Structure 1
Amino acid sequence: MSIIKTAAKQLMYLLVPKKNGFSDLKVRSGPAKGAVLRLDIRVNGSYWLGNYDQWIFDRINFAEYIKAGDVVWDCGAYVGYYTASFRKIAGEKGKVHTFEASNDNYETLKVLPTNNRWSNVYIHHMAVGPEHAELKFVNNLQGSSGPYGLGKEYRESESELNIIKVACSGVDELVYERGIDMPDFIKFDLESAEEFALHNGHRVFTEKRPTILLELHGQKTKDAAGLFFERYNYKGLLLDEMPDIKNVLRSKADFDKIEGVPHMVLCIPC
C-alpha cells in the first residue's frame, strides 16, 4: 500500500503545475472542499485530496460549536486547512484569525485570503503562547515547526534546525492590546506553547468563554489543561472517545486518571 501511495504522490507531482515546489490547488473533497491552498504536492497530498485529519472531522461536528457569524482563531495553521474549514462554517459574516509563526509556512499561508477572495480571513505572522515575548522558533519542519526551548523535543540536532526569532503574544494581549476580535472558538496547535496560552487569557476565558480544540504536546500541557478546567469551569472531552464519551474531565485530578498524554481534547464551557 505504501508503494502505491508513493507512486500516486509522484504522479500527482508530475501532473500539477508548480513554482518552487508549490502550487495553488483547489481542495478536492472534505471539510475544506473548494478552498484554494498553496501546497507542495510532494508532502501535502492529503490536504489537496481533502482527507487530512479526517478522523478528527469524523468525531467532531464543528458546526455544533461554530455558528454563522462567529469569530474563530486558528492558532498554529500550517497550510490553512483548518482555517478554510472554519471559514466555510462561519460564513461571510464571520471572521477567521489565523496565526502562524514559521517564516516558511507564513509565506505560503499569507496568500490564502487573496486566492479565495476572502475579506474576512486575517493571517497574522506571530506565535501564540507566552505573552509579550520573543520566542526561538524552528522554521524548517513544516507542520512540526514549533517553539525551541519551551519543552518540545526535536529528533533533529540543533545544527539541522533553522531557528528564528518571532514575536509571541498571549490570548488577552491579542484582544485587549492588539485589537484582535474576541473569539467564539479557538484551535490551539502550538507545539508545546499551549501551557502558556491556557493561562494568559483570563479575561477572554471568563468574559467570552470560547470553545477550545486543544492539541496536547507533552505532560506540561496536560497538567495545564487540567488546571484550566478547574479555574475556568470548563469540561474536557477526549477526541479519542468521541462521539461515545466515557470520561468528562473537569479537573486536573480527572485528567491525571487518564493514562499518558491524549492527542486532543475539546474544551467546552460549562
Structure 2
Amino acid sequence: MTGLPALLRRRRSARRQAAIRDRCDTAYLGDHRALVRVLGRYKMFVDTRDVDIGAHLLLDGFWEMWVTELLPRLIRPGFVCVDVGAHVGYFTMLMADLAGPSGLVHAFEPNPALRGMLDDAARVNGFAGQVRSYGDPVYDAAGLAAELVVTITQPSGAHVRILPEGDPAATLRTCRLDAVAGLDRADFVKIDAESSEEAIWRGMRGLLDQRRPMTVLLEFASIRYADPAGFLAAIAGEGFALHRTDPGRGLRRTSVAEILRAPPACELMLVLIR
C-alpha cells in the first residue's frame, strides 16, 4: 500500500517526514504556478511566489505534520467535514480521502486564486464529487459587505474585513455556516481564519445546537479576541473538551487557564471534542 495510510504506519514522525520528502516532486507549469506531489499521494497546485505554505509543499511535500498526523485519528468514512480557510486544499484533500466516497467536504476559501487551485486539486485527485468549494467568507451574519486583505507572497495570512454597505471596496458577501445549503450537519470542522474564528463560531449556532458529536480544529490566539476567556468559556459551554496539539507533545488535554497563559500572539491549534 502506498500513500497516506502506509506512511502513517511508520513509527516516528521524523521517519515519516523523510519518506514524504523522498516522494515529493514538482513541475513548474508557468505563470507562477507549479504542480506538486504532497504526502506521497496527492497532486496539488501552488503559487511559486508563496513563501509560506507553498514553499513547504514545494520542497517538503507536507505542511504542519503534527496536525496532518491527527486527521486520520479524527475523521471516519462517511463524515461531513468543513474546512474554513482551506487555502489550496491541503487539508481538504486529506479530509476527502479519509471521509471516503460516502463523505463530503465543504471547503471555504475567499481568495479566488487559491480556491481555483483547490478546485483543480479536487478534480485531479478524483475528489470533485466529494468536495464543494465556496468563495464566501464565513462570519456570524450572512450578506455583510466584505473584502479580503491579502498579499501574494503570504496568502495564508489573509484576513476578511467587514465594510459598510455600499463601500466600493466590497467584493465579497459573508455567509453563516449554519445557513449553507446542503450543510445539514458537521462531524469535523477546521477553522483557520486569521481573527474571524470567534465570529465563525457564532455563525455555527444551528450546527452546535444539534448536540451531535463533533470535533473542531481551531486556531486560537488570545490577541485576536476582545474577550479570549469569554470565547473559551463559550466553547466549553457547548460541551467540548479542550485539547491542544503541538510538534513535540502531540494531542493532549488542556484547560482554559493553560491556554490563556500562552503569549497573546502565540497561535495555538486547539482540538475541541464532544
**Shorter-chain TM band:** 0.7 to 0.9
Match of 1:195 in 2: 198
Instruction: Tell me the CA shift for residue 68 of structure 1.
Output: 0.8
Q: Map 1:1-270 onto structure 2 (within 5 A).
A: 16-27=27-38, 30=39, 33-41=40-48, 43=50, 44-48=54-58, 49-58=60-69, 61-118=70-127, 119-132=129-142, 133-140=144-151, 141-148=154-161, 165-174=171-180, 178-207=181-210, 208-221=212-225, 222-223=228-229, 225-240=231-246, 242-243=249-250, 245=252, 247-249=253-255, 255-258=259-262, 260=264, 261-269=266-274
Instruction: For 1:129, give the aligned amino acid.
Output: Y
Q: Deviations over 1:190-245 (max 9, x none)?
A: 11110111122222113134210001244344445412223201111122374363
For the Cα contact (< 8 Å) 1:198–1:228, is it kept in 2?
no
Provide TM-score, normalisation by structure 1.
Answer: 0.75
Match of 1:159 in 2: none
Root-mean-square deviation (CA, aligned residues, Å) is 2.7
Q: What fraction of aligned residue pairs are identical, expressed as a percent?
A: 20
- What is the rounded CA distance, in whole Å, between the counterparts of 1:149 and 1:199 in structure 2? 16
Extract unaligned runs of 5+ from structure 1.
Answer: 1-11, 151-162
Q: Deviations over 1:157-212 (max 9, x none)?
A: xxxxxx753121122222xxx23242100000011110111122222113134210
- What is the count of residue pairs matched by the alignment? 233
SS of structure 1 residue aligned to 2:174:
strand
Instruction: Tell me the CA shift for residue 75 of structure 1.
Output: 0.6
Match of 1:155 in 2: none
For the Cα contact (< 8 Å) 1:146–1:191, is it kept in 2?
yes
Q: Deviations over 1:53-92 (max 9, x none)?
A: 113335xx32222101111111101111111111221112
SS of structure 2 residue aligned to 1:84:
helix
SS of structure 2 residue aligned to 1:105:
helix
Match of 1:153 in 2: none
SS of structure 2 residue aligned to 1:129:
coil
For the Cα contact (< 8 Å) 1:131–1:173, is it kept in 2?
no
